[in-house]
């Protein structure tokens, strides 16, 4: 093949890819949808700003108290008390007070303040992972709903294509006076019914895609990858799933990080019960006589010993411990229910596959018999209706299998791995 021919084929292929993406949008499978939402979702981006806030809090915790400069000026106002041979503005008739002081944090106060800010920074990141887990579950379900609608549309398209062909055949058979006009009208009615279903499903697909675009954070046109039959295999035992979730699920990790932060906060509040001394020196010229001194002050912890914040920090720790225990119990129920539901729906799907094959055989046989005058159109329409319902029920059960699988990996925390 010549170079020109290679170039021509390449250009045609590129043109096809470009125009296909431009007209119909990019094709999104489940993983691509999750990855896109991780990068573009606006709510997730807003949540990520908390990282910078937490880093700013660490910076603040490391700052030391600023020194204080105090200046006081006293002027003698009555001239009869002026020093001999002086006037109003001379330094013998005034006093000046310069004071330079600084509050000193005790070592543990600064240490625990920094440590508390760092623990909160870790907590923010763990909370972000939990927000990400919930977003992935939302996106996955929206994608799955759109996927199921696309499959339902495929079924209707197949059914309508078959009926369109039958309508043409019946119109010719009517001209040949093989069938009555009623049979043609029944066929036309079914065509119209399928057209209405097509429009309804297409509208629902458009609605779901708009919701999905919002969740994944894109304005570009997109299509659902109808061929993405993402794997729904789970061979893990209940105990291993529970252990994995307790160790790895993002909300559990966030609660453990929160517990560590509350423990540090208790230490910080106990350290803050000790008053901070303020030390410095002063320069005090009085009536032209210079004085130098030192300054020291400290609050006496008679009434306020930070009792409120200490008690609050202890209660906060107790609250987090209770929430952690409750969440662990909740996880056990969520995973147990999700696993049982997944296994149940998976078994239903295996049983239903036989019905799917049977309905197809019945439709083919009845259609063959009808076209040869061996049965009535009523039998054919009943077989067609039964086939369509069976196809729709199959994909509804398939959707339930996938939904229970998503619920299972959401409950265990494994859904975050799909977005990597």
Query: Are 139 and 33 spatial neighbours (Cβ–Cβ below 8 Å)?
Result: yes
For residue 145, give the nearest of 191, 57, 207, 102 by alpha carbon: 207
- In whole angstroms, what separates CA 321 from the centre of its chain? 25
The helix (run of H) or strand (run of E) holding residue 280 is strand 278-283
The whole-angstrom separation of Cα 343 and Cα 235 is: 10
Token pair for 245: 């979730």
* Angle at the Cα of 349 from the Cα atoms of 348 and 350, rounded to 5 degrees: 95
- Residues facing 279 on adjacent strands: 102, 296
Per-residue pLDDT tens for 283-299?
999 988 999 999 999 99
The pLDDT assigned to 357 comes to: 87
Identify the burial level of 162 via C-beta atoms within 10 angstroms of its C-beta, where 0-12 means exposed, 13-18 middle and 19 or more buried.
middle
Query: Are 363 and 387 spatial neighbours (Cβ–Cβ below 8 Å)?
Result: yes
The whole-angstrom separation of Cα 218 and Cα 33 is: 10
Percentages (nearest 5) of helix, strand, coil residues in the chain: 70, 10, 20
For residue 218, give the nearest of 419, 32, 418, 416 by alpha carbon: 32
The whole-angstrom separation of Cα 402 and Cα 140 is: 10
Point out the residues of the chain with pLDDT beneath 50: 1, 3, 6-7, 10, 13-23
Using DSSP, state whether 303 is helix, strand or coil: coil
The pLDDT assigned to 16 comes to: 43
The pLDDT assigned to 19 comes to: 43
The pLDDT assigned to 234 comes to: 67
The pLDDT assigned to 145 comes to: 94
The pLDDT assigned to 89 comes to: 83
Task: Tell the residue number behind the tokens 């996106």, with chain if given.
Answer: 139
The pLDDT assigned to 341 comes to: 93
For residue 371, give the nearest of 155, 191, 175, 165 by alpha carbon: 165
The whole-angstrom separation of Cα 407 and Cα 343 is: 12
Mean pLDDT computed over every residue of the chain: 88
For residue 52, give the nearest of 155, 154, 109, 121 by alpha carbon: 121
For residue 151, give the nearest of 397, 395, 353, 405 by alpha carbon: 395
- In whole angstroms, what separates CA 396 from the centre of its chain? 26
Can you identify the CATH homologous superfamily of domain 3-76+109-275+307-418?
A: Outer membrane efflux proteins (OEP) (1.20.1600.10)
- The DSSP symbol for 26 reads E
Instruction: Kindly list the domain boundaries of the chain, sorted by start residue.
Output: 3-76+109-275+307-418
Residue 366's alpha-carbon distances to 163, 177, 326, 362, in angstroms, are 14, 21, 59, 6
Task: Tell the residue number behind the tokens 């279903």, with chain if given.
Answer: 197
The pLDDT assigned to 47 comes to: 92
The whole-angstrom separation of Cα 126 and Cα 357 is: 49
Per-residue pLDDT tens for 50-102?
999 999 999 999 999 999 999 999 998 888 888 888 888 888 889 999 999 99
- Residues facing 222 on adjacent strands: 26
């Amino acid at each position: 093949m010549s170079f020109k021919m290679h170039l021509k084929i390449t250009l045609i292929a590129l043109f096809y890819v470009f125009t296909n993406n431009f007209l119909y949008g990019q094709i999104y499978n489940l993983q691509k949808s999750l990855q896109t939402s991780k990068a573009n979702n606006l709510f997730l981006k807003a949540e990520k700003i908390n990282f910078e806030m937490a880093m700013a809090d660490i910076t603040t915790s490391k700052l030391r108290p600023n020194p204080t400069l105090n200046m006081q000026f006293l002027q003698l106002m009555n001239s009869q008390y002026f020093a001999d041979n002086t006037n109003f503005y001379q330094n013998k008739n005034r006093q000046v007070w310069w004071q330079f002081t600084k509050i000193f944090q005790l070592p543990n106060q600064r240490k625990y303040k920094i440590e508390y800010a760092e623990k909160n920074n870790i907590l923010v990141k763990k909370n972000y992972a939990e927000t990400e887990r919930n977003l992935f579950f939302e996106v996955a379900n929206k994608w799955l709903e759109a996927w199921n609608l696309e499959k339902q549309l495929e079924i209707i398209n197949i059914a309508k294509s078959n009926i369109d062909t039958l309508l043409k055949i019946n119109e010719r058979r009517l001209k040949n006076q093989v069938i009555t006009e009623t049979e043609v009208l029944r066929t036309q009615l079914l065509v119209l019914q399928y057209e209405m279903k097509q429009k309804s499903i297409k509208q629902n697909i458009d609605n779901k895609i708009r919701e999905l675009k919002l969740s994944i954070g894109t304005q570009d046109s997109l299509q659902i990858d109808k061929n993405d039959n993402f794997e729904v295999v789970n061979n893990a035992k209940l105990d291993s799933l529970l252990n994995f979730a307790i160790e790895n699920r993002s909300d559990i990790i966030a609660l453990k990080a929160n517990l560590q932060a509350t423990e540090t906060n208790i230490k910080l509040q106990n350290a803050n019960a000790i008053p901070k001394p303020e030390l410095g020196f002063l320069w005090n010229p009085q009536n032209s006589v210079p004085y130098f001194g030192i300054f020291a002050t400290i609050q006496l912890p008679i009434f306020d010993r930070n009792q409120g914040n200490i008690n609050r920090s202890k209660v906060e720790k107790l609250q987090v411990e209770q929430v952690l225990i409750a969440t662990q119990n909740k996880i056990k129920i969520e995973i147990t229910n999700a696993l049982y539901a997944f296994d149940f729906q998976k078994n239903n799907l295996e049983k239903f596959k036989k019905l799917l094959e049977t309905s197809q055989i019945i439709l083919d046989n009845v259609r063959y018999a009808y076209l040869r005058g061996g049965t009535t159109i009523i039998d054919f329409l009943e077989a067609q209706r039964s086939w369509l319902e069976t196809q729709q029920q199959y994909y509804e059960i398939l959707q339930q299998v996938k939904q229970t699988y998503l619920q299972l990996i959401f409950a265990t925390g494994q859904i975050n791995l799909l977005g990597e």
